[in-house]
Amino acid sequence: MRNYRDKTVVISGAGSGIGRALALEMARRGARLALTDINGGEVQETAHRCAALGVQAESWKVDVADRAAMYQHAEDVVERFGGVDVAVNNAGVAIHARTAETSDRDFAWIMDINFWGMVHGSKAFLPHLILSGDGQLANVSSVFGLIAVAKDGAYNASKFAIRGFTEALRQEVRLDRLPVSVSCIHPGGIKTNIVNNARFGAGEDGARVAGLFDRFAVTSPEGAARSIVRGLERDRARILVGPDARLIAALPQVFGAQYGRLIEAGLRIARV
């Protein structure tokens, strides 16, 4: 079991949703927070809320898709805090559209943020996590990194890529006996604004999709944060967040490639 008191924890996408809730949960445990988001005002508010709990919390406006900015951010955090103990790459966006109707520009947009943002964060902070002597890296994928769903091909691609990268990196650091733990986080339906802020394909009813998501999202950001921290405390390789995540993770194990037929049936019923 890890203790995060006085540890420096870096969280991207900390302006809202899971990122903000995770920052506050870590603050309650006495961690020092280095927080980033593309929305500077929102992440500054998160830092203020964390500081009100009696911990050091600093905020940066950073685009995780910008490699140079992320590497500079890592140097800035080390200069400000003296080192890094935990890095959580959480920033992410969504697209709901048929693959044939998803433009190359939209594919690049989601991969730049979800996948490359995670790669930049992992590679920029990994050397500092190693230097800490007991570092911890966690990358947020999704249950859509465990199963594929029609009209979410671009999102699936980004989240499956995060999973593959993270699981391979965990093997590498263990083979090299590096003092770093690596975890992949798979949230289920969390009551955040990710769908409300998503891009939608032509003809897609974004309001209807968002409404269905809100109806079936069973986990609050605060509950997700507590679940994530419990997984991190135990150095779990895969952290499933929410009861729906555990159910979804079982589908390909039980049904193999035929799980897709269950997804298709559900989509027909929901008319999504």
Number of continuous H segments (helices) and E segments (strands) in the chain: 10, 9
Cα dihedral sign for 186, 172, 5, 59? negative
Are 14 and 20 in contact, with CB atoms under 8 Å apart? yes
* 3-state SS, residue 221: helix
Catalytic residue status for 155: yes
Q: What angle do CA 233, 236, 237 make, to 5 degrees?
A: 145
Q: Which residues of 99-109 are buried (b: 16+ CB within 10 A; e: fewer)?
A: eeebeeeebeb
Which of the following is catalytic: 4, 71, 155, 259? Answer: 155
Are 246 and 46 in contact, with CB atoms under 8 Å apart? no
Calpha distance 208→213 (Å, rounded): 9
Amino acid at 25: E
Q: Which residues are catalytic?
A: 155
